[in-house]
Amino acid sequence: MRFRRAEALILDVQPLGDADRIVAFLTREAGSLRGVARGARRRYSRHAGQLQLLSKVDLQWLEREGRELARVTSVELLRPADGFLGTLEGLLTASYLAESVRAFAPEGEPQELLYRLLDTTVEALLAGTGPGLATRYFEVWLLRLAGVFPFPSPCPVCGAELAGGARLVGGGESLVCAACGGPGGETVPPEALRFLAAAARLPLPRMAAEGFTAAALAAVERLATAVRRHFLQQELRSYQVMARTLQGA
Ligand SMILES: [Zn+2]
C-alpha cells in the first residue's frame, strides 16, 4: 500500500452502492486513475461538493497492490468548474473533454502535457472563452499529443505549401495538397489550416483574437472528428450526444 497526493482534475463520478462513488481523475505524475470515495454519496459527506466534473482538487489516495481501484482518502477543492457547467453547452462540453481524456490517456502513465492541456482549457472556459473555440483547440492538441494529428507542414508528397487547402488522406494520417489528394479524403479548407497553424503557436486565450468564423471551426471539427474516429475505431459517446444536442438547439 502506498499513500499518494497530487493535484487532480475530476474526469468522471459514478455512484457505487448506496453511499460510495467511483471517481476517475487525471494527475500529472500518475496520469489517469480511478478510485473509490467511500461515503461520497451521503448527504453530509465532505467530498460531495468537490467531486464535480472537471473541478480541480488536491487529492489523496491509497494505492493498493493488485487492485485496479485506488482508495480516495481526501479531496480538497482547488477550483470549482460550476462556472461553465450551468449551461447545457457547458455541461456537454465538459463531458466530452473528460471522456476524450479518458479515451486517450492509458491508466497510470504520467500525463504532464495532457494535464496542462485540460487544465488550461478549463481555465479558459471559466474565463469566458467560447466552448466551440475551446473544444476545437483542445481536440486538435489532444490528437497532436497522442501523436496522431497531422499538423500542417508542406505537402509530404510534392512539397507544396498547403495554405490554399488540403486533403486528409490515409484514413486520417496525413495532410496533402489538393492536387496530390485526388478525389477521396476529407477536404480541409484554408481557414481550418490557418486555425491549426495558430493553435500550434498560440495559447488558447489568445486564439479568440484571431477571429475564426463558425465555418472555420466546423471544418476543424470535421477534420478532428475524422482523425479521432480513425484512431479510436469508434466515436466517443459524449461527442455523439453533444453533436446531436447542439445541432438540434
Ligand atoms: Zn502535393
| 1-27: pLDDT as tens digits | 899 999 999 999 999 988 899 999 999
CA of 164 to the centre of ligand 1 (A): 11
Q: Which amino acid is at 168?
A: L
Q: Which residues contact 86 (CB under 8 A, 6 or more apart)?
A: none
Tell whether the model's pLDDT for residue 167 goes beyond 70. yes
List, in sequence order, every residue forming a beta bridge with 35; answer none if it has no partner.
Answer: 23, 70
- Mean pLDDT over 106-118 rounds to 94
Angle subtended at Cα 204 by Cα 233 and Cα 97, rounded to the nearest 5 degrees: 35
Long-range Cβ contact pairs of 110-113 (< 8 A, separation 24 or more): 110/28, 110/29, 110/30, 110/31, 111/26, 111/27, 111/28, 111/31, 111/32, 112/28, 113/145
CA of 243 to the centre of ligand 1 (A): 32
CA of 181 to the centre of ligand 1 (A): 7
Q: Report yes or no: 51 and 62 within 8 Å, Cβ to Cβ.
A: no
| Pairwise CA distance, residues 230 & 179, whole Å | 23
Cell of 195: 486555425
The pLDDT of residue 45 is 61
Q: For residue range 50-75, what is the model confidence (pLDDT) as tens digits? A: 889 999 999 999 998 888 899 999 99
List, in sequence order, every residue forming a beta bridge with 71; answer none if it has no partner.
Answer: 36, 62
CA of 74 to the centre of ligand 1 (A): 55
- Mean pLDDT over 24-32 rounds to 96
CA of 140 to the centre of ligand 1 (A): 22
Q: For the chain, how many residues are written?
A: 249
Instruction: State the pTM of this model.
Output: 0.93
CA of 87 to the centre of ligand 1 (A): 44
Strands 20-27 vs 174-177: parallel, antiparallel or unpaired: unpaired
The pLDDT of residue 179 is 87
Any idea which residue has 455512484 for its cell?
15
- What integer best gives the mean pLDDT of the chain? 91
CA of 215 to the centre of ligand 1 (A): 24
CA of 185 to the centre of ligand 1 (A): 14
CA of 6 to the centre of ligand 1 (A): 47
CA of 177 to the centre of ligand 1 (A): 4
CA of 17 to the centre of ligand 1 (A): 57
Strand, helix or coil for residue 142: helix
| Pairwise CA distance, residues 206 & 159, whole Å | 30
CA of 144 to the centre of ligand 1 (A): 22
Q: In angstroms, what CA-CA distances link 173 with 114, 148, 191, 223?
A: 21, 7, 20, 11
Domain ranges of the chain: 2-80, 86-248
Q: What fold does the segment set 86-248 form as a domain?
A: de novo design (two linked rop proteins) (1.20.1440)
Tell whether the model's pLDDT for residue 44 goes beyond 60. no
The pLDDT of residue 170 is 78
Give the phi and the psi of residue 105 in degrees, each rounded to 5: -110, 105
Around ion ligand 1, residues with a beta carbon closer than 5 Å are: 155, 157-158, 160, 177, 180
The pLDDT of residue 249 is 67
The pLDDT of residue 51 is 87
CA of 194 to the centre of ligand 1 (A): 18
The pLDDT of residue 43 is 56
- For domain 2-80, is the CATH number 3.20.20.20? no
Cell of 27: 494527475
